[in-house]
Structure 1
Amino acid sequence: MLSFNPPIEENPNAEYPKISVNAVVGPNSYIFGDVRVEDDCFIGWNNLIRADSSTPYFIGKKTNIQDFVVIHCHPNQHVDVKGKKYGVYIGDEVSILHHAQPHGPLYIGRNTFIGEGVSIYGATIGKNCVIMHGATVTNDVKISDGRFIEPGKAVWKQEQADALPPVPEKFKGLNQEIVDHYYRLGKSYRKNTPFFI
């Protein structure tokens, strides 16, 4: 379901999502408000992307948002990307796995992996990062490019973020494998089933 957001004081303009004709959106996924979804994105089942309190949102090319993901942003809070404000900015070729909750203000850089059940509330995450399942990232920390967060770890102080290790060699190709798989899977769903728009 795609819909305008309801106008309120914090977000007075009703905007409709802008979805690339080359993106796919699965059954029971809801996208409200000023959300731009770029080419070849895969948005799976039962996702909620709600740009009603702080906008706009951007989801980059070949990003996959799998199932039961909730994306929202605190009212009137933003990240700055090249001089423009966004409630949520997700770069190209990002993977966001099942049951993750990325909450803005949030920036996620290109080729970053967000594992199952990851909880994010206010952060700037660099490119080429791997955030493993069940981790928590919050309190507007800034995570440098190529950093690794182990399963279940909480990162809420900047000194914790600064001390994160580089992505281990065994995980460096993980995200690109997933990006490639979901790129092909989305094309096949659209071609061979009635489920995706």
Structure 2
Amino acid sequence: MQADALLTQDELDFIQNMQHSPQFDVADATASLLLNSDSKLKNLLTRLIAHEQVTLQAQFENHQMSFPLQLVEDEFHATHLQVGAPSIYEDGPMVRPWRLTLDTPIALEDDMGLSTDLWVREMSFKGVLLEVRQPGEPPARFSLWFNPGNAEAPIALEGTLQRRAADGLAAYRLSQRHPAEIERLREYILQQHRRAHPEVHAA
């Protein structure tokens, strides 16, 4: 190597390894999405996504998925269209959020990571059905943590009592005040939907 080279051999080897890494394989068509459209339609779509809630809808048998779209700016100040985790619905007498029924109830945790008397039986991105293992009335509101064990970190949930059900169960509507936590909840529910309905997610 020449004495006045800009990069050392180690630096060149590192760059070449990065280029050949699977995560940098630009030939993988499933890793990117190209929007082919008239420039006027692209401008319209960009304006709508920047100022309104825009979603991409998909339907498979009796399931509907609504993917939120948003604009993100990368480190080079280029704007990209980003697709978020979907809200999953199921058809029936009425369309409702898909509910994940837990094989084993999971206790909600307090800020110290200690189990409470509220146990999750079912959940969707909009609400939870809790088993109340304490005497008396279920709380009107809660602000606790859902820790399924395989998530990177517990998910913060805030709920407001909607109705009491039989056998010590209570239905709560989840607050939408913390979009990042609701996004994490949608991602968790998507993972569970993938396990329950692999035919929907098969490549």
TM-score, with structure 2 as normaliser: 0.21
Structure with greater contact order relative to length (CA < 8 Å, sep ≥ 6): 1
More helix by share: 2
Higher alpha-carbon Rg: 2
TM-score, scaled to structure 1 = 0.21
